[in-house]
Structure 1
Amino acid sequence: MHPLAVAATPADLLAARLQMGLSLGWHIVLACFGVGMPAMTLIAEWRGLRTGDPAYQLLARRWARAMGVLFAVGAVSGTILSFEMGLLWPGLMGRYGQVIGLPFALEAIAFFIEAIFLGIYLYAWDRLSPRQHLLAGIPIVIAGIASAFFVVAANAWMNQPTGFDERHHRIISVAPWRAMFNPATPPQTVHMILAAFMVTGFGLASVYAVAMLRGRRDRYHRLGFALPFTIAAVITPIQIVVGDWAARFVAEHQPIKLAAMEGVYVTQSGVPLHVGGIVVNGHMRYALEIPYALSLLAHGNPFATVIGLNTVPPTDRPPVNVVHLSFQVMVGIGFALLALALWWAIVWWRRRRAPASPWFYRASALAGVGAVIALESGWVTTEVGRQPWVVYGILRTADAVNPAPGLVVGFFIVASVYVVLTIATVYVLRLLARERPVPVAPQEYDADESGAS
């Protein structure tokens, strides 16, 4: 334990970790829509202005209103997170706040820019010229992506702490820019931003896929499905390449995390890749093994050595099954989404139209939920895989937690808040889905269709 670190009971430590995990897991979904939805809304608006198509115009209006609701709720959960960072983890923020404070400050600036222009975008729609209104949405897109970048850069620092020296338990020679642009920042930020567009694209498309399965095949619903699905489908293969880049980075800089992801206990060369399986008594069971594949994927050499969990004491190992299974879920769903994207691409290339099979739309209806599960699984892999360190190799999670009693009570209070927020958000979004924000031609959209999504 660090000489200046604090201590907490195991129950309070668990409660703090659960509370932070719940808050991050809840907020990250809204953050994804905050990154991806402004761009998709602007594309719909731009297409509507260029073609005069009322379907695009209606999509832009509807998505903008939903975007405003999600932004407001995300601001609430983001505020909760900002308080939790200081209240739950004083050992982290009190000691290293001066090192990682820069990305949080820049994220706040990006948030305010996004809020200002979102207000203009929503409330000046009919007061600005169409061109001016479209331009007013561009800062929302930039600020949303920048906000995600800064937050993930702070998390990347926790995986690869740089930009400071520590002597006699004192932080010296702080270099905030070097800390923010640490070695983990490029793969983590790119991976997360692409994931945000995938979650948004497949999430929006899934709503219209359900409507199309119910027989609503008018132009509004076809475009509502095709626009976000196409964006997500194009990004999916790119994301898999970036995921490989991120995994190679982990193999080089966090070999114990990689060992947990693959359930490798003994350091060896020519290591197989495990598909599925669980760890039982220190051995991987029930997995499909692909010979030499892990060594090849991690190091570009089928005979390369992969470091095992046995190289560190048990107290320095993450919970292997949690990390391994979450990683397997993320990768499995990622390839399932890739298969769905290829289905779309092949049919479009051969027939110049969307797939007609109801099975395609059934799969697409599940893709939104699948993308969210993959996102959460990836986040669990990243965060739990770093344990027991909150700052990798330097500060343990147990030494950073608030020693004050009562954190268990706080967890249940915060969990109740998120239950209320979830119910309220779903209720408001369903109300918005039933309203018609702009007049549309009755011959194209009847009242039943316009309220479907």
Structure 2
Amino acid sequence: MDDFLAARLQMAFSLGFHIVFACIGMVMPFFMSLAHFYWLRTKKVVYRDVTKAWSKGVAIFFATGAVSGTVLSFELGLLWPKFMEHAGPIFGMPFSLEGTAFFIEAIALGFYLYGWNRLNPWFHWATGVVVGISGLLSGILVVAANAWMNSPAGFDYVNGQYLNIDPIKAMFNEAWFSQSLHMCIAAFVSTGFAVAGIHALMILKGKSVKFHSTAFKIAAVFGTVAACLQPLSGDISAKDVAKRQPEKLAAMEAHFHTERFAPLIIGGIPDTANKKVDYAIRIPGLLSFMATGDFNGEVKGLDSVPQEDQPPVTVTHYAFQIMVGLGMAMVLIAVLYFIALWKKKDWLRSRWLLKLFVIATPLGFIALEAGWTVTEVGRQPWIIRGVMRTADAVTPMPGIAYSFYLFTAVYISLAVIVSLLLFRQISMVDKLYDSANQSKDEQL
């Protein structure tokens, strides 16, 4: 394995790992705060128990996200020194602000975890809300920095020099809003379905049904509402990409030839040698409409981009299809759940609906990883689109392959440890409730 590939793989693996725990850390505090709010309003003990259980999960994911995020910040400098040398002064502001948001989040989480029966109840609840808001802001700021790589702004590039730097304009670049919106909603979808799926599994097993049913409903509502909003943000993102990065849209759709009334391609196997897609479903004119708002609008194909500047088509296309396909599957589950809430109350007690949520447990995070693959691979061969190539930014230091192997082992170990901690936490909750129910039976 050459050093360039090893550096890219290490960054990809690190990002792929961190993004899962970062998204859970962004969203779970809102679940926790809502359960806490219900506890304060109703005084139903089950809401207090759900809140405390979730708060421990938030602490675990906060620690994991902090560790993996810190590693990423070092990797940017160590693996891509040329990139940081030039880009750091331009887009350093969102990273510095993210550090401030992280600092506030850590303080608020400390107040929350140790504030039970010590702080005013509503002030205690408010610290949990601050954890969620600051975590969400951290995610938005990091995505803004990534958006700058896709849509560089806030500087003039003259004769290899970066002049007239404007950090505010760099942070609020043309891509930041669409990417941040899409990412935040994706975090709620993936976390909502994952948490709901775990609690649905516990309900099916008949363990602590009241506790898990309460937790399931909160997570399911968050996840399903977000799933229905995601196609709207996807449409905003698609139109933005069509305008700023037509080559990325072309790779996403395996759209080889510039044309009007361009069809939307569903599935298919890209044949890059012959510039076509085999076995695909084509919906005439829909890609033009989605990209331009006009069924007869022109959509640029890969033939409009020099060969050396074209992104990898096969990986980008498959990742995009996986993201959209899984997203629509979760929308379908969301629609069924809403029907159950409003019209078919008996469905809420049905095993088939719970099994759907169990099956959907990993779907959101698979779609999330696929979406980031589209974002990053679809920008290649650029690390700063149109300005700096990824190959020119990599470190000249040898032996990166060994670093990749080491970090991969560390991340896998960390994932196993976190999974075991969460399993232990769920088991402790079930044992607690089983013991409580047994005591009640003995008293009767």
Deviation at 1:26, TM superposition (A): 0.3
- In structure 2, the residue matched to 1:250 is 241
Deviation at 1:304, TM superposition (A): 1.1
Q: Does 1:337 align with 2:330?
A: yes
2:411 to 414, 418, 421: 418
- In structure 1, the residue matched to 2:91 is 100
The 1:354/1:129 distance shift into structure 2, 3 A limit, reads farther
Paired with 1:230 and 1:208, the residues of 2 have a C-alpha distance of: 13
Q: Does 1:270 align with 2:264?
A: no
The code of the aligned residue for 2:249 comes to L
The equivalences for 1:239-388 within 5 A come to: 239-280=230-271, 281-352=274-345, 355-388=348-381
Q: Does 1:391 align with 2:384?
A: yes
Q: Say if 2:152 and 2:170, in contact at 8 Å, map to a contact too.
A: yes
- Per-residue CA deviation, residues 351-403 of structure 1 (Å, 9 max, x unaligned), is 34653332221110122200000000000011100000110111100011111
Hey, which bits of structure 1, 4+ residues long, moved more than 3 A?
A: 351-354, 436-447
- Per-residue CA deviation, residues 192-219 of structure 1 (Å, 9 max, x unaligned), is 1111111111111011111122234732
- Per-residue CA deviation, residues 214-262 of structure 1 (Å, 9 max, x unaligned), is 2347321211111110111111111110111101100111000000001
Deviation at 1:138, TM superposition (A): 2.0
Q: Does 1:229 align with 2:220?
A: yes
State percent identity of aligned pairs: 43
Paired with 1:61 and 1:217, the residues of 2 have a C-alpha distance of: 15
- In structure 2, the residue matched to 1:211 is 202
- In structure 2, the residue matched to 1:201 is 192
Q: Say if 1:58 and 1:438, in contact at 8 Å, map to a contact too.
A: no
Paired with 2:159 and 2:325, the residues of 1 have a C-alpha distance of: 46
SS at match of 1:402: coil
- In structure 2, the residue matched to 1:5 is none
Paired with 1:117 and 1:63, the residues of 2 have a C-alpha distance of: 16
SS at match of 1:279: strand
Paired with 1:369 and 1:210, the residues of 2 have a C-alpha distance of: 13
Deviation at 1:438, TM superposition (A): 12
Q: Which deviates further from its counterpart, 57-66 or 130-139?
A: 130-139
Q: Does 1:188 align with 2:197?
A: no
The 1:154/1:446 distance shift into structure 2, 3 A limit, reads farther
Q: Which deviates further from its counterpart, 227-236 or 437-446?
A: 437-446
The 1:408/1:353 distance shift into structure 2, 3 A limit, reads same
Q: Could you state the TM-score of these two structures normalised by the residue count of structure 2?
A: 0.95
The 1:441/1:125 distance shift into structure 2, 3 A limit, reads farther
Root-mean-square deviation (CA), in Å?
Answer: 1.8
Paired with 1:112 and 1:438, the residues of 2 have a C-alpha distance of: 35
SS at match of 2:362: helix
The code of the aligned residue for 2:396 comes to P
SS at match of 1:264: coil
The equivalences for 1:1-40 within 5 A come to: 11-40=2-31
Which structure has more relative contact order (CA 8 Å, sep 6+)? It is 1
Deviation at 1:12, TM superposition (A): 0.9
Paired with 1:309 and 1:398, the residues of 2 have a C-alpha distance of: 21
Paired with 2:367 and 2:278, the residues of 1 have a C-alpha distance of: 23
Deviation at 1:300, TM superposition (A): 1.1
Q: Does 1:77 align with 2:61?
A: no
